[in-house]
């Protein structure tokens, strides 16, 4: 039995996860096409607004949604990194190591491009902040990110499977240290050291 809290998103066939996947495909297609869709832009924008209007009609009140999205299972589905129901999430696929480590894999496409053919550095920070945070949750001592130091060793390629790791390094009262890496083809491209602080009072209380 593994006593660590689960941090992986429950995968479902169909449902909202399919809608989010379709939305990711739209984003990818728009970035890929660029000016090639300029002549159809009016029709395309109208069609997409029509879809958004239909979804908005079904949405619950915003305040209710902000609360429910942070419930334990819901936050795993809706966060912007591995949340399968959040179209902004690449999504990173998380696996939980037996030793408490967290690992993830993801292949990023054009919407995440920084330098030509490579991942935007802010996206690396997003992935590492999240995976270090998940490693802390798994370890049973988690907090808010207070400081995240990244070292960019080499450019991170698009269209190749990336491996993201995170582990809790030490706990000193409310201060929690965690480290992690992003690797491509077995080479570490980005490494991170994070300081997380457990707030005196939980957020929102």
Residue 64: both structure tokens together: 């209710």
Shortest distance in whole angstroms from residue 121 CB to ligand DCC:
17
Q: Is the CB of 117 or the CB of 199 nearer to ligand DCC? A: 199
Element (H, E) at 26: helix 16-33
Looking up tokens 């169909």 gives 14
Identified binder of ligand DCC from the candidate list 85, 96, 101, 129, rule CB under 6 A: 129
Identified binder of ligand DCC from the candidate list 32, 147, 154, 187, rule CB under 6 A: 147
Shortest distance in whole angstroms from residue 56 CB to ligand DCC:
25
Question: Residues near 82 by Cβ (< 8 Å), separated by ≥ 6?
Answer: 8, 9, 76, 89, 91, 92, 93, 94, 104, 130
Shortest distance in whole angstroms from residue 197 CB to ligand DCC:
4
Phi and psi angles of residue 77, each rounded to the nearest 5 degrees, phi first: -90, -25
Residue 11: both structure tokens together: 């995968």
Residue 205 lies near ligand DCC (rule: CB under 6 A): no
Looking up tokens 């998380």 gives 94
Identified binder of ligand DCC from the candidate list 86, 124, 145, 183, rule CB under 6 A: 145
Q: Is the CB of 133 or the CB of 184 nearer to ligand DCC? A: 133
Of all residues in the chain, what percent are helix, strand and coil, respectively (each to 5)? 40, 25, 35
Residue 85 lies near ligand DCC (rule: CB under 6 A): no
**Contact string 39-78 vs ligand DCC (x = CB under 6 A):** ------------------------------------xx--
Residue 130 lies near ligand DCC (rule: CB under 6 A): yes
Rg (CA), the chain: 19
d(CA 187, CA 51): 42
d(CA 40, CA 37): 5
Identified binder of ligand DCC from the candidate list 15, 117, 122, 199, rule CB under 6 A: 199
Q: Is the CB of 158 or the CB of 166 nearer to ligand DCC? A: 166
Return the SS3 of 60.
coil
Residue 167 lies near ligand DCC (rule: CB under 6 A): no
Give me the residues that bind ligand DCC (CB under 6 A), please: 7, 75-76, 79, 129-130, 133-134, 137, 144-147, 174-175, 195, 197, 199-200
């Amino acid at each position: 039995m593994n006593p660590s809290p689960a941090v992986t998103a429950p995968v479902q066939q169909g449902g909202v996860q399919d809608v989010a996947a379709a939305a990711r495909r739209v984003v990818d297609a728009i970035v890929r096409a660029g000016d090639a869709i300029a002549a159809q832009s009016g029709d395309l924008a109208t069609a997409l607004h029509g879809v958004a209007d239909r979804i908005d009609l079904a949405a619950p009140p915003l305040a209710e949604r902000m609360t429910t999205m942070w419930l334990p299972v819901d936050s795993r589905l809706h966060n912007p990194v591995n949340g399968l129901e959040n179209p902004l999430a690449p999504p990173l696929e998380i696996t939980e190591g037996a030793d408490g480590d967290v690992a993830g894999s993801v292949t990023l496409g054009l919407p995440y491009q920084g330098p030509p053919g490579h991942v935007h550095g802010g996206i690396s920070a997003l992935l590492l902040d999240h995976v270090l945070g998940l490693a802390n949750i798994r370890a049973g001592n988690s907090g808010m990110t207070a400081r995240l130091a990244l070292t960019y060793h080499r450019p991170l390629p698009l269209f190749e499977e990336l491996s993201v790791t995170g582990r809790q390094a030490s706990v000193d009262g409310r201060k929690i240290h965690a480290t992690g890496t992003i690797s491509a083809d077995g080479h570490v491209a980005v490494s991170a050291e994070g300081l997380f602080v457990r707030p005196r009072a939980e957020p929102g209380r």
